[in-house]
Amino acid sequence: MENSINSISLKKSDGKAVSIMGVVDRVMQTSGPTLFSVGDGTGTLVLKGFEGPGVRAYPMINEGDVIRASARIKEFQGSLEGEINKIQKLQGDEAKRVKSSIESIERKSAEITPPQFLIKSGILDKLRDSFIKAAVEIRYAIIKSRPIIVRHHNDCDGYSAGYSLERAILPLIIKQHGGGKAPWEFYTRAPCAAPFYEIEDSIKDAAHSLADAAKFSNKMPLVVIVDNGSGAEDLMGIKQGKIHGMDFIVVDHHYFEKDLISPEVLAHINPFLVGEDGRTFSAGMLCSELARFINPESSAVSEYIPALAGFADRINNPDAMNAYLKLAEKKGYSKELLYDLAALIDFISTKLRFMEAREYIEVTFGDPVEKQKALVNLIVPHIRMLEKRGITIAQSAVKREKIGATVLQVLSIEDSFSRGAYPKPGKVVGLIHDNLQEKGEKNVVTIGLLSDAITIRATEESKFSVHDFLAYLQNNVPETFAEGGGHHQAGALKFVPLEQKKVMDALRLFLSGKK
């Protein structure tokens, strides 16, 4: 009688022989034994065969084969392994029957009983089916021993989104593979500098994954893109990955002109898909809710994160923000502390850049809380000093002009700040944009000008749209080769450096209403 893998434990089976039946999903040759990763739908167990140092054991057993094995259970580097006594490759109808049974178990295991959302929201209710679809696909990837890559924007909202998913996914990976090195073999979180899934990031993800497939027999990954992914500029990166066998899920809240992404991905969550505005829910808020769908039993996802992400991304949804703030306050996070924590994460993101820094990010998000608060107390006063200095520098350098009823502020970033200085361009533009409004101006457009890009902030009263201006550039001065996006009143555009003057001239014409 075969044992299910999830029933095997060190307490019950240490040193004892057990019988299992399953599908080989990886074969790894080491300088010592040959390792066979076997799954039966309930879990995964590594079986170890030894014929000699570096000698391939049981060469008749390969990936995709259905096997029956007797193995003696031992612990190795924090996870369970089985030393093979006997292994048999199943054939014909018996193999088909076992595979079909395992597939059924895996699909059933991936299903969820959807939890209630943390707050009441008609927008979330409209997206409920997409949450379920995304959660099931992520759970299924874990069960199938498929690596998961979480790609998130390199700011507080992006980190909040990525961390929320991480705290839901890692316990399931550990449960599936028995711990050990599994959380590192089957999960990666990678920040993105650009507000979209760049072709450069896509090629790197594919290259690393193809290398892992060649060296370790890994499957090609499921990539979850968060706080990015919904726009036309993401399409090439996603399609490039799919050529190599990667699949994608997107959780985003940025505007898109036309939904080009949904047909290319397993699941797509974005308020714009259900006729709502992306300013009502940030990626961190959406991913905090998604994390509970992925792992309803996990208590690791902190309920303060939606409020943190919402404040960091200036979400315009008072009902949702008040409800999330109440949850945060119950966990000991006041509004003031959340703003300080948002500043801390934004600052840290500029220093870590593309590092995963898993353990450091855990501390930053409150694991443990004592160290998180110590970081806030130590670093936030320094951040506030840098912000104050940044505003002073910006105020001395910014140029203002009145175009119709709109005040246009232009700050030359490269002339005013050293490369790599904090606050970063988007942050300093936001600071001086807010500062002018505090002085009574309501119709304001603020531009952070670089040699090949502009960062934009605009008030509702200005009726300025980043997307409309991008379309204006593309239609009227196509030689700028402008691209980019974001939200209607906050975003960034890139262009050919040689055409910077034409971009600024076009901006003034656009604001004046001239064609």
The domains of the chain, with CATH numbers, are: 5-100 (2.40.50.140), 118-377 (3.90.1640.30), 398-512 (3.10.310.40)
Which pLDDT tens digit goes with each residue over 375-386? Answer: 999 999 999 999
Residue 498: DSSP 8-state: G
pLDDT higher than threshold 70 for residue 514: no
CA distance 295 to 217: 27
Q: Once rounded to an integer, what is the mean pLDDT over residues 414-419? A: 90
CA–CA separation, 449 and 429 (whole Å): 10
Say whether pLDDT at 20 is over 80: yes
pLDDT at 515: 43
Tell me the per-residue pLDDT of 308-348, one tens digit each, with 9 for 90 and over.
Answer: 999 999 999 999 999 999 999 999 999 999 999 999 999 99
d(Cα 16, Cα 27) in Å, to the nearest integer? Answer: 23
| Helical axes 335-352 vs 318-330, angle rounded to 10° | 90
**Least confident among 119-123, 187-191, 463-467, 510-514:** 510-514
Q: What does the mean pLDDT of the chain come to?
A: 94
Please give the average per-residue pLDDT across 21-32, as a whole number.
94
Mean pLDDT of 194-222: 94
The pLDDT, as a whole number, for residue 14 is 74
Query: Is 301 a residue whose pLDDT tops 70?
Result: no
- What global pTM score does this model have? 0.93
Tell me what pLDDT residue 292 has. Answer: 95
Tell me the per-residue pLDDT of 227-279, one tens digit each, with 9 for 90 and over.
999 999 999 999 999 999 999 999 999 999 899 999 999 999 999 999 999 99
Distance CA 346, CA 431 (A): 14
